[in-house]
A and B are shown apart, each in its own frame.
Chain A
Amino acid sequence: MPLIIRLFVAVSLVLCIGIAAARADEADRQQMKGLDEQVQDIKTDVLGIAAELNLLEEKLLYPSGTQLAVFVALAQGDTVRLDAVQIQIDGQPVARYIYSFKELEALRKGGVQRIYVGNVATGTHTIEVAVGGKLEGGADYSHTGEFTFDKGVGPKLVGLTVAGPGSGHEPIELGNW
């Protein structure tokens, strides 16, 4: 067998099982491992800061006495392609959102989007919701709904579940939490 072929055979098995041509030596690997541990520690630290900061923000910007959070979900198994949602509270526009493919997929998998956080006084309020999108066949779809909700002394969570026609659900359902 010519030398060039023998050399090829010697390296071929190594290559074919997917090892990178040049592997970092053990020292490199140990260094990377040490850095990985440090990065994990930093992540833990920053996650703690973020949690504390969230509480501070909530207390400072959205105190529980006036806090209102509005969430958007898709009805389970619904195929409507949600493009946009607009929300007005007591006649004032507060949120307008256009969905990316990733966000739509996350909604379809059961995720819930917090679309708005703000402050309202205790009492009864109206929320007007407009949704736009496309149906499975490509036809345009839009719907508007108006609901009332009561804001008490605690934080108020309002969940809006959007569904396409023929799904057996209301186009927009409001849930109070």
Chain B
Amino acid sequence: MDRAPHRWLALGVAALLAANPCASAELRDLYYGEALFEADQGQFFDALVRLDTELAQHYGLDEPDLDTLHYHVNGAEFSVGDFELNYRMHNRAGRAIRAVLEGNVDEAVRNEAAFRLARIHFQKDQLEDALHALARIQGEVPEEIRDDVEFLRANVYLASGRPHDAVAVLKHMPESADLAGFSAYNLGIALLQDGDATHAIEQLDRAGQTKARERADLAIRDKSNLVLGTMLFESADFARAEQTFDRVRLDGPYSNQALLRAGWAEASAGHYDRALVPWGILVEREPTDSAVQEAMLAYPHAYAELEAHGRAAMLYGRALESLSGEIGKVDASIGAIRDGGFLTALTREETRQDRNWVVRLRQLPDAPETFYLTELMASHDFQTALQNYLDLEDLRARLVSWRTSFDAYEDIIRLRAANYEPILPGVDAEFRELDSQMRVRLEQRERIASRLHSMLTAPRPEFLATADERIMAGRLDAISASLQAAGEAPALDLERVARLRGALTWRLETEYHARLTQAHKDLFELDRHVKDLQANYDSFVRSRQAATHSYVGYDAGIARLRDRVDSALQRVTIVMARQGHAIETVAIDQLRSRRERLVAQQTQARYAVADSYDRARSSQPAGAGR
């Protein structure tokens, strides 16, 4: 199921994974940090939901420069693309990165975006687009991706059938780079595709002897030796082929193939006794492996060539028994897949938790349907299909859980409505009364403030009279009026009234400034209370609005979301069934192919047993068998 253009290449996937864009920068936006927290655990759905929401809110602000995400906005845009890529949403990932590429960003950022876009195109087999994106990388390239860019460029050339260009790029890759093992191997393959077998052999020989400590580097070194050994074997250089196969580690992923071919190299050189060593090791290994099954026939074949027909007959018999058993296992696997066992095994929790689950599946005693499919399951397309299936299962679980949540939300809304609706009319009536009283008082305050302000330029002492003084002035006015109304009033009385009014005026005039100062102080004091009152008022209005918002206006939104969830759930169920069926079909096709091969080997073993017994019998001295 591998995609054809990439089958030759060592992709160095680990090296191509994007680094955390915020690892070294000071974090200024907590929600962005939360998205990184989710993404670092492989929870890309949650990371995307968080970051999409944050970016949408950021761009919806009137002044996004004041938002804390402003400090990380380029990193966030990149992260969205990365998360989408990791969540296998190539279409959206491409769009997100193109947006960065076309935005107003500096050269280094644009180049990094172009690199990421090229990587997406390459993964989607859009090689022309990948080259076009790589061509946009100009000027300053961030150091941390410099080697990755060149490695990707070479891979795209190789996949595009331009090995000569790939050779030119790979020859200039620094040997100390993290990708050294991968680039050395790819250079060998590029030279081979370019028709330069001599230099290809030299290059693969170098790639097969590089110093390596990491698991991926060790594996690519083994792969180099395996390819080189096979090339040497094809050119009948058996001795050197055997030496090259010997360099493959006995516990690595290529060891079975290396042991098998080492045996054939010895056998082809006529050294059947030496071929027994690697094949003897191999036949003791996991019997579902195709190399082991081939060795089951090759091993007795070597004994037969060494004229040890009795031993050969016995080993052929054992092979026949084992192959029959394996055919039974394949049949059982096909049956288990048809019963849905394969998909159940693939969706086990350990599949999601363990990176090496493909290897470990073999060790699960209750998952026989997976024994013959590890090769298939390790292929890129199968992994994509399986991941899609697992993602759909995850989405299905989320959608089901959300659907349940809607009922809970509606309960909350109903309870809140039942709580608030009976009491809110009374609260509102009381509030309206208090509100009108408050408005009257505030208007009074405004009038006083305005009057005091005007008194600063046009003094009006009578405005600052106390209540007693105002009463007293009123009484004096009344006395004066009644005296004048009585006709000839005694002058003494009028003088007394005038004296008293003078005394009052004197007090108002002489105390005017002190009273005006005190009046301003009192106004400031009043303002303090008005401020507290306004705060209480605002708090009440917010609480009152919150009370309504807590249960009003949700119905349409929930109904719409419920419809969307139902519709998505329906789509997920349909596509999941199709995806599952496609996985099962591919698996069954694979098993059928393995079965045909096993049956052919079984037939071969059956003839070989008979032949070896005949030869063993005929080589025995007459009468020995009786």
A92 adjacent to chain B (CB < 8 Å): no
> For residue A175, which residue of chain B has the nearest CB?
B30
A132 adjacent to chain B (CB < 8 Å): no
B209 adjacent to chain A (CB < 8 Å): no
| Cα–Cα, bound, A154→B90 (Å) | 37
Q: Which of B422-430, B510-518, B588-596 contacts A (4 or more CB under 8 A)?
A: B588-596
Cβ of A112 and Cβ of B30 under 8 Å apart? Answer: yes
**Inter-chain contacts of B22 with A (CB < 8 A):** 110
| Cα–Cα, bound, A40→B87 (Å) | 9
Kindly identify which residue among B27, B53, B543, B590 contacts A54, using a CB–CB cutoff of 8 Å: B53
Cβ of A20 and Cβ of B379 under 8 Å apart? Answer: yes
Q: Which of B106-114, B359-367, B571-579 contacts A (4 or more CB under 8 A)?
A: B571-579
B391 adjacent to chain A (CB < 8 Å): yes
Interface of A is mostly: helix
Name the interface residues of B385-426: CB closer than 8 Å to any CB of A.
385, 388, 391-392, 395, 398-399, 402, 405, 409, 412-413
Name the residue in B23, B30, B268, B579 with the highest tally of chain A Cβ atoms < 10 Å from its Cβ. B30
Contacts A24-B381, A56-B557, A60-B550; is A38 near B395 (CB within 8 Å)? no
Give the shortest distance, in Å, between A13 (CB) and chain B (any CB): 6
Kindly identify which residue among B412, B586, B594 contacts A60, using a CB–CB cutoff of 8 Å: B412
B580-614 vs A, Cβ < 8 Å mask (1 yes, 0 no): 00100110011001100000000000000000000
Kindly identify which residue among B1, B56, B409 contacts A24, using a CB–CB cutoff of 8 Å: B1
**Inter-chain contacts of A49 with B (CB < 8 A):** 399, 402, 561, 564-565, 568
Interface of B is mostly: helix
Cβ of B376 and Cβ of A109 under 8 Å apart? Answer: no
**Inter-chain contacts of A65 with B (CB < 8 A):** 542-543, 546
| Cα–Cα, bound, A24→B3 (Å) | 10
| Cα–Cα, bound, A106→B46 (Å) | 14
Cβ of B558 and Cβ of A56 under 8 Å apart? Answer: yes
Cβ of A47 and Cβ of B557 under 8 Å apart? Answer: no
Name the interface residues of A93-138: CB closer than 8 Å to any CB of B.
102-103, 105-107, 109-114, 122
B214-248 vs A, Cβ < 8 Å mask (1 yes, 0 no): 00000000010011001001100000000000000
A139 adjacent to chain B (CB < 8 Å): no
Give the shortest distance, in Å, between A129 (CB) and chain B (any CB): 16
Give the shortest distance, in Å, between A152 (CB) and chain B (any CB): 11
**Inter-chain contacts of A44 with B (CB < 8 A):** 89, 92
> For residue A35, which residue of chain B has the nearest CB?
B579
Cβ of A71 and Cβ of B33 under 8 Å apart? Answer: yes
Cβ of A56 and Cβ of B582 under 8 Å apart? Answer: no
Q: Which of A26-34, A81-89, A142-150, A164-172 contacts B (4 or more CB under 8 A)?
A: A26-34
B178 adjacent to chain A (CB < 8 Å): no
> For residue A112, which residue of chain B has the nearest CB?
B33
Cβ of B264 and Cβ of A21 under 8 Å apart? Answer: no
Cβ of A29 and Cβ of B56 under 8 Å apart? Answer: no
> For residue B254, which residue of chain A has the nearest CB?
A16
B384 adjacent to chain A (CB < 8 Å): yes
B273 adjacent to chain A (CB < 8 Å): no
Q: Which of B34-42, B135-143, B323-331, B500-508 contacts A (4 or more CB under 8 A)?
A: B34-42
Cβ of B91 and Cβ of A40 under 8 Å apart? Answer: yes
B261 adjacent to chain A (CB < 8 Å): yes
Chain B: residues with CB nearer than 8 A to chain A? Answer: 1-3, 7-8, 20, 22-24, 26-27, 30-31, 33-34, 36-42, 45, 48-49, 52-53, 56, 68, 87-92, 189, 223, 226-227, 230, 233-234, 254, 257, 261, 264, 267-268, 290, 294, 297-298, 301, 375-376, 378-379, 381-382, 384-385, 388, 391-392, 395, 398-399, 402, 405, 409, 412-413, 539, 542-543, 546, 549-550, 554, 557-558, 561, 564-565, 568, 571-572, 575, 578-579, 582, 585-586, 589-590, 593-594
Known: A20-B1, A102-B40. 15 other contacts (CB 8 A): A4-B298, A5-B268, A16-B257, A16-B261, A18-B7, A20-B376, A21-B376, A23-B2, A24-B381, A39-B392, A42-B571, A49-B565, A66-B546, A102-B42, A110-B33
User: Would you list 10 pairs from A and B whose C-beta atoms are within 8 A, ordered by A residue?
Assistant: A12-B233, A40-B90, A44-B89, A46-B45, A49-B399, A49-B402, A50-B398, A76-B26, A114-B34, A177-B68
Chain A: residues with CB nearer than 8 A to chain B? Answer: 1, 4-5, 8-9, 12-13, 15-24, 28-29, 31-32, 35-40, 42-56, 59-61, 63, 65-66, 69, 71, 73, 76, 102-103, 105-107, 109-114, 122, 153, 157, 159, 177
